Amino acid sequence: MMKLNQWLIQRKLNPKRVYLALLALFALVFLIVLIVLTTTQDDDKIYLVENAEIRTGPNAGYPVVYNVQKGDTFKVLSRSGKWLEVISSKNHQKGWIAGWHTNLDIKEDVNPDLKPLKNKTIVLDPGHGGKDNGASSQTAKNSHEKDITLKTGLELKKMLEKEGAKVVMTRKDDTFVSLEDRKAKGDAFISIHNDALASQNANGATVYYFHKKQAPLAKTLNASIQKKVLLSDRGARQEDYQVLRQTKKPAVLLELGYISNPTDEILMNDQNHRYIVETAIVDGLKNYFLYE
Ligand SMILES: [Zn+2]
């Protein structure tokens, strides 16, 4: 210390002043670090202003994972529209929450009377038709895929129109339409099919997309179908189908059960079952357009 004082005095510096200046500098750096630390922590830590639900995806169509209480805190991992992907401070579980339940300034602009499908154009594409039966069942019923997809399409059309949507059909009757002609301008494109395999065991519903930006619609519709429908969950999957590839719009290809599975075949021929499937599709589309 004495040596340092002497060294400073030799350089005509007042040791007291030098120490004070150093002290002030340290204090300033400490303060800056403190401010940076606290503000970054506030940025991704949020709390709930009311009780809410954590869901598996970023809209109300996804299933609830667990319920959370007012005051619970979370770290934000990502954001999709007005929804936040969070991890709970309490149990470290991940999930999605609507931003308007949190302390963040996110407004729920959704009026429950609002019809999110109003004036949206939905293209419905009942698979196969005419000379192309699609898949057929092996049972005495001998169901053809082309008949079931048309029934589903026509029933879905009526339900979507009730929601204020405009519906364009790629076919309205038992006619053959080529794959390249299965396109029309719209806000979403839904191709309707039934699966088949040589084995009778395969069953369930699959929702296909091709372009990456079609994935959110596929996941939303798959979640909605699984919430309501009695078909096992084969998930939302990416596949290079021409009708999906040839459109840049949100588009999905629905495989609504296996016509080769006797149980699925009974279901798809049952109007009540189809009504539940169609309701799930309408609900999924509403959720998708509500938060897009
Ligand atoms: Zn098909």
**Mean pLDDT over each residue of the chain, to the nearest integer:** 91
Whole-angstrom distance, CA of residue 217 vs CA of residue 210 = 11
Ligand 1 centroid–CA 203 distance in Å is 15
Residue that wins the pLDDT comparison between 71 and 15 = 71
Gap between the Cα atoms of 64 and 57, Å rounded: 9
Residue 3 pLDDT level (bands cut at 50, 70, 90)? confident
Note the pLDDT tens digit of each residue in 19-51.
898 999 999 999 988 887 766 555 678 999 999
Distance in Å, CA 262 to ligand 1 centroid: 17
Measure the CA–CA gap between 207 and 220, rounded to whole angstroms: 10
pLDDT band, very low/low/confident/very high, at 73 (cuts 50, 70, 90): very high
- In 3D space, the residue among 196, 189, 292 whose CA is nearest the CA of residue 241 turns out to be 189
> 């301008």: which residue's tokens?
185
pLDDT > 70: percent of the chain: 95
202-223 residue pLDDT tens: 999 999 999 999 999 999 999 9
Q: Output the pLDDT for position 203.
A: 92
- For residue range 236-247, what is the model confidence (pLDDT) as tens digits? 999 999 999 999
Greater model confidence, 8 or 289: 289
Distance 17 CA to ligand 1 centre (A): 85
pLDDT of 4: 78
At 124, give phi and psi (nearest 5°): -105, 135
C-alpha 135 to ligand 1 mean position (Å): 6
Distance 242 CA to ligand 1 centre (A): 12
What's the CA angle centered on 47, arms 41 and 52, to 5 degrees? Answer: 150
CA 94 / ligand 1 centre spacing (Å): 37
Instruction: Calculate Rg over the CA atoms of the chain.
Output: 29
CA of 127 to the centre of ligand 1 (A): 5
pLDDT tens digits for range 252-263: 999 999 999 999
CA of 259 to the centre of ligand 1 (A): 10
Q: Supply the pLDDT for residue 135.
A: 95
- How much distance in Å is there from the Cα of 130 to the middle of ligand 1? 13
* CA 149 to ligand 1 centroid distance, Å: 8
Ligand 1 centroid–CA 155 distance in Å is 18
Among the listed residues 231, 223, 236, 235, the one whose alpha carbon sits nearest the alpha carbon of residue 270: 231
pLDDT average, residue stretch 83-101: 92
Statement: residue 80 has pLDDT above 60? yes
Confidence of residue 235 (pLDDT cuts 50, 70, 90): very high
CA 218 to ligand 1 center in whole angstroms: 17
Q: Contact, 228 vs 219, CB < 8 A?
A: no
Instruction: Give the Cα separation of 151 and 172 in Å (integer).
Output: 10
The Cα 104–Cα 48 span in angstroms is 9
Least Cα distance to 253 among 199, 212, 214, 200 occurs for 214
- Give residue 204 CA to ligand 1 midpoint distance, Å: 14
pLDDT band at 5 (very low <50, low <70, confident <90, very high): confident
The predicted pLDDT at position 6 comes to 82
Query: How far, in Å, is the centroid of ligand 1 from the Cα of 286?
Result: 25
> How far from 87 is each of 60, 79, 84, 93, CA to CA, in Å?
18, 12, 10, 5
Give 61 Cα–ligand 1 centroid separation in angstroms: 26
194 Cα–ligand 1 center, Å: 5
DSSP string, the chain: -HHHHHHHHHTT--HHHHHHHHHHHHHHHHHHHHHHHHHHHHHHEEEBSS-EEEESSSSTTSPEEEEE-TT-EEEEEEEETTEEEEEETTT--EEEEEGGGBSS-------TT--TTTT-EEEEEE--BTTB---B-SSTT--BHHHHHHHHHHHHHHHHHHTT-EEEES-SSS----GGG----SSEEEEEEEE--SSS----EEEEE-SGGGHHHHHHHHHHHHHH-SS-EEEEEE---HHHHT--SSEEEEEEEETTSHHHHHHHH-HHHHHHHHHHHHHHHHHHHHH-
